[in-house]
Structure 1
Amino acid sequence: MFWNGTGAVTLGMLAEIRWPWLPALLLGSLLGGYLGAHLAIKSGNRWIKRAFELVTLLVGVKLVIG
């Protein structure tokens, strides 16, 4: 929590905070945390690691391609 708060304060001082995005970001964070924990308990860490690798790869490809 400390580092998240520090990052938020720094961003607020250096850039514009887009407040309308906050509800979607909070909802995504809460749902992702809940689903990740639920799937880790139900399916094991191996499945979570593979899903994380796939999502990371897809995001990386999207960033490179544009």
Structure 2
Amino acid sequence: MSFQARYTGACAAERCRYYPDDLIREGDDVDYLDDELMHAECAKATRRGEPPMCPNCFTHHRGEC
């Protein structure tokens, strides 16, 4: 269950969906996954087993961009 962040911190996702700015800011929707705090969208993607977001095209794909 997600909630709003009260403090600034770093997203613990392997590759943050908000890449390259992986900061969690006050008011962002966040969630815990295995005791690691991350953006709610990052946690959902990790639970579904999606590959990390590509920093070049900002999509999820397997293999080359």
Scaled by the length of structure 2, the TM-score of the pair is 0.26
The structure whose residues are more often helix, as a share, is 1
Scaled by the length of structure 1, the TM-score of the pair is 0.26
Larger Rg: 1
Higher relative contact order (CA 8 A, sep 6+): 2
